[in-house]
Structure 1
Amino acid sequence: MLGGGALYSAQQVPPIPQEVIGPDGETVATQSQVQDGKVAFQQNSLMNHGSILGNGAYYGVDYTADTLDLKVEHVREYYAQERHETAYTDLKPAEQGGIDRLVEDDLDEQFTEGAETIEYSAPEVYAHEQVRDEYAQRYHEGSLERGVPADFIGSEEEARQFADFALWTAWISHTDRPRSDTSFTNEWPYNPDAGNTPTGATMIWSVISMVLLVGAVGVGVFMAHGTAAHELAVSIRNTTD
């Protein structure tokens, strides 16, 4: 059973593409940059500061959720400037709604099994570059309000590669698996602006998990009280004897 589970997990591993390209065929990021970003993440102990795909420490942000939020934000700004020549926050609610639909459509992607490239839209290319710049500033130059000292990542290049890695995790979070209508992370992290909302299966298993947890705690408390009561009864009997 364990072997079967390991095989299934290996088959379901999200792909790291050979190349991320823009609409004109320009290279945005490569597989080696993403992998080097993972190395930078590990070598600089970033998991002891924040988390990735929900795993790690919680002093800082979850890098998957953070880059997904930033990606949505910058794609919005791209469309706001392109369509209305103003900031997203300055738009009327109806105009913001139109932009929101464009963003969700952009990020509602499906991976083609066996594909070696990811093709970004122009807004996604823009967002990727903006997040790279922000991560270089935050994790190389430092961000005291976030508890990040200067040179937390030793070089600007490594910080940008770390952004590539974090953005790859954001990509697998909003991109559906082949022949599926849910993402590689089952629509996690929650971000309705990116189309990530809990699936029915997620809700069902969350409820089942809570019921099992409460039930297990109840059984544990019952057994503990039963043991204590038994020990008390034995103690009283020994005393009276």
Structure 2
Amino acid sequence: MQATRKLWTWLAVICVLSFAVLGWVGTEIYLTAPPIPKQVISTQGAVLFSEGQVQRGQEAWLSAGGQQLGSVWGHGSYVAPDWSADWLHREALALRTVWAQRDFGKPFEQLGVGQQAELNARLKSEMRRNTYDAATGTITLSPERAEAVQQVAKHYTGLFGDDASLDKLREQYAMNAGSLPDPADLQALPAFIFWSAWSAATDRPGETDLSYTSNWPHDALVDNTPTAGAGIWSIASVIFMIAAIAGMIFYHSTAKEEGDPTPPKADPLFDLKPTPSMKATRKYFYVVIGLILAQVGMGVITAHYAVEGHTFFGFPLAQILP
């Protein structure tokens, strides 16, 4: 009994410490969360996204399926892409193209090695620079980046709208055309996705090469790569876990434990006779079995959409179960 009490004490201590750490980390995350801008403008004064559009864009994304349709910052399903990563990469490519055409009069792919290196270095600086003004709640972008943002926004309004040229891409993402029928939602969605990508690549105030999301998702074009701290703590966590397991095994092997209880001579369940109340639960188990089978079936359909997009072995099932 004494040994059991010690185990419960250790369990309580571990739980308290674990939740204390989780609470502390959660508080730090909340305090250092990326700011939601009131507006996003260019240095020339053009308004790209206005007040409230980021929040409405998030609501629009949730109404279109949310985490069931792609993910943001890695949270969600993996049939469609991670939208923050997708926007970040598309914007980086678009910005390079804008610069290449403006400065050299040709596509980026046709530039020399030195010219490409110059634009790549400029790209990292441009995408990571934090231009958020806390006093006005405004993010200010260069005219070239504003043009790149508008290009990516057009892609997203077409993708979540009914642009026929993106039908093949929607099929690969298991999306239906017209996912956002409301024009206001369709215009607000890019604001939310842009903000999620901006937060993923923009350096935190007072930091260098460390974004609001700790450089997640990965994109080498904008130097979104794992930090040294992330690597160190990942390794340290594994070492701590192994050490804790070793300590538990050592304690278990050295501690004196009570002997095993004497088992009964016969299994008491063999002589058990079902009571009327036990028999009454059969309906419950039939329902549970049915629900489990339905869940498995829906899982099969969802997984299959990752292969065929809108069909189930050729049958256009997405018209019934989008």
TM-score (norm 2): 0.63
Q: Deviations over 1:141-188 (max 9, x none)?
A: 252233221112224442331111011011111112222222111111
Residue from 206, 213, 221 that aligns with 1:193: 221
Q: Work out the percentage of aligned pairs sharing the same amino acid.
A: 25
Equivalence map 1:48-127=2 (5 Å) = 48-110=68-130, 111=132, 113-127=134-148
Is contact 1:54-1:62 (8 Å) kept? yes
Distance 1:213 1:82, change over 3 A: farther
SS of the equivalent of 2:59 reads helix
Residue type of the alignment partner of 1:96: Q
| Deviation string, structure 1 residues 20-66 (Cα, Å, up to 9, x no partner) | 11011121112311111011011121310210111111111001101
What code does the residue aligned with 2:39 have? E
Counting only pairs closer than 5 Å after superposition, residues 95-174 of structure 1 correspond to structure 2 as 95-110=115-130, 111=132, 113-141=134-162, 142=167, 143-174=170-201
Amino acid at match of 1:192: A
The answer to which of 179-188 and 109-118 deviates more is 109-118
Rounded Cα–Cα distance in structure 2 between residues aligned with 1:50 and 1:210: 30
CA gap 1:6/1:156 in 2 versus in 1, 3 angstroms: same
Q: Offset of 1:205 from its aligned partner?
A: 1.9
SS at match of 1:176: coil
Partners of 2:246 and 2:107 in 1: CA distance: 54
Residue 139 of structure 2 aligns to a residue in which SS? strand
CA distance in 2, matches of 1:207, 1:156: 48
Cα RMSD (Å) of the superposition? 3.1
Partners of 2:80 and 2:172 within 8 A in 1: no
Give, in whole Å, the separation in 1 of the partners of 2:183 and 2:112: 38
8 Å CA contact retained: 2:96, 2:120 = yes
CA 216–135 in structure 1, closer or farther in 2 if over 3 Å, else same: farther
Distance change in 2, residues 1:121/1:211 (3 Å):
same
* Preserved CA contact (<8 Å) 1:51 1:58: yes
1:231 corresponds in structure 2 to: none
For the structure 1 residues 5 and 203, does the alpha-carbon distance in structure 2 shift closer, same or farther, using more than 3 Å as the test? closer
Structure 2 SS opposite 1:21? strand
CA contact (8 A) 1:133 1:160 kept: no
Partner Cα separation in structure 2 for residue 56 and residue 217 of structure 1? 32
Amino acid at match of 2:61: F
CA distance 1:112–1:208, change in 2 (3 Å): farther
Offset, 1:119? 0.6
- In structure 2, the CA distance between the partners of 1:98 and 1:44, relative to structure 1 (3 Å rule), is same
Query: In 1, distance between residues paired with 2:245 and 2:55?
Result: 42
Q: 1:147 and 1:103 mapped to 2: Cα distance? A: 32
Aligned to 1:47: 67
Secondary structure of the equivalent of 1:31? coil
Q: Which moved more, 1:67-76 or 1:194-203?
A: 194-203
